[in-house]
Amino acid sequence: MPSPADFIHTQFILRIPEPTASFASKNVIVTGANGGLGKEIVKHIVRLGANKVICGCRSLKRGAEAKEEIEAVSKCKPDVIEVWEVDLESPPSIKSFVARANTLPRLDVVIHLAGIRSFNFKVVYDTERTLAINNIGTFLLALPLIPKLKETAREFGTTPIMTIVGSALYDRADYPQNPGQDLFTYFTDQSKFNPWNQYSLSKLIQLYTLIKLATLVDPVNETKPHPIVINSVDPCFCETGLSHEVKGMTRLVVKAFAAIAARPADDGARQIVHAASLGRETHGLYLRAGALQAYKPIAQDPKKTEYLWEILSKRLEKLDPSIMDNLKA
């Protein structure tokens, strides 16, 4: 968890400049783009001249409302923003989204923003729902998009990027002592579910996965002619709908804390757009407060990294049997 001094600096003192890197001629995917950080991310990317921004939303209606609002502000042409349906809890929806993405002439940037912080226990993909969406659903979508990024790199001589939106709370995760053979199965038992921990744990698992993925896709020690970048970024604590499931008195406390400490969603969006415009120096790495930040000891655990990759890849293969072929592309 960020130290109090780090938290004060990041939430109250840090100056977060508007991103300025050009997105001209780029095609960009942003998941979870209909609200919170996502809508602000799309505004910046449109302002920076993207050719196309695809908003991956599970509700086409909410996506269309966001598109209308962004177009009104940015005055962009109506064909720049497209809203495509994607639900990270639905493998057929993910499959259709990927098939559509593969029809694009190029894919330059993918920002995996969609995620949840669930306070209500529910089992999805045979695990607890926060892990199901933030880990299984996120990578069920991420892996099949890699070949298109690599194809774009080869054909256009560019360095496409996949950015996974993480959270500094990863460092606060309480990792279970004995999760058994499969940590995802462990969390099908409601008595193991602590809503305040589950989100942090999902963000820790995202980092283990990112670290492993970056060793499998264009690793830094191999010089391939047209590598891509996969990185992660913490946008800091921002006012969004992320904690909307908190109820009762706790909701009032959370809201009061957010009123004091949270930054506007635009501040988080600026940092995410910045991270999604960086290069190979960020491959497999994590950014916070506008700069690369070393992983905290909890994320530097090769045994857990391997274990989680093994159980996650089995889960992914169950849902999409040829998914690992995407890493050979």
Ligand X SMILES: NC(=O)c1ccc[n+]([C@@H]2O[C@H](COP(=O)([O-])OP(=O)(O)OC[C@H]3O[C@@H](n4cnc5c(N)ncnc54)[C@H](OP(=O)(O)O)[C@@H]3O)[C@@H](O)[C@H]2O)c1
Least distance in angstroms from the C-beta of 80 to ligand X:
19
Write the interaction track for ligand X spanning residues 264-303; mark x where CB under 6 A is met and - where it is not.
Answer: ----------------------------------------
Of residues 153 and 312, the one with the C-beta less far from ligand X: 312
Kind plus residue range of the DSSP H or E element containing 31? strand 27-31
Candidate ranges 155-163, 229-237, 281-289, 311-319; the one touching ligand X (CB under 6 A)? 229-237
Kind plus residue range of the DSSP H or E element containing 124? strand 123-124
Least distance in angstroms from the C-beta of 268 to ligand X:
6
CA–CA separation, 251 vs 205, rounded Å?
26
Least distance in angstroms from the C-beta of 256 to ligand X:
15
- Integer angstrom CA distances of residue 304 from 39, 119, 166, 167, 179: 34, 25, 18, 19, 11
Of residues 128 and 234, the one with the C-beta less far from ligand X: 234
Q: Which of 50, 83, 133, 161 binds ligand X (CB under 6 A)?
A: 133
Of residues 39 and 52, the one with the C-beta less far from ligand X: 39
Of residues 123 and 226, the one with the C-beta less far from ligand X: 123
> Exposure of 328 by Cβ count < 10 A (0-12 exposed, 13-18 middle, 19+ buried)?
exposed
Q: Can residue 55 be called a binding residue for ligand X (CB under 6 A)? A: no
**Site residue total, ligand X (CB under 6 A):** 29
**If you search the block for the tokens 């690599």, which residue do you land on?**
150
Q: Can residue 85 be called a binding residue for ligand X (CB under 6 A)? A: no
CA–CA separation, 220 vs 1, rounded Å?
28
Secondary structure (3-state) at 9? helix
Contact 135, 210 (CB under 8 A): no
CA–CA separation, 238 vs 71, rounded Å?
23
Q: Which of 167, 209, 231, 232 binds ligand X (CB under 6 A)?
A: 167
HSE-CB for 198 with a 13 A CA cutoff: 29
**If you search the block for the tokens 């293969």, which residue do you land on?**
317
Candidate ranges 111-119, 144-152, 216-224, 301-309; the one touching ligand X (CB under 6 A)? 111-119
Secondary structure (3-state) at 170? helix
Q: Which of 2, 32, 160, 227 binds ligand X (CB under 6 A)?
A: 32
* Site residues (vs ligand X, CB under 6 A): 31-32, 34-38, 58-59, 62, 86-89, 113-116, 133, 137, 165, 167, 234-235, 237-238, 240-242
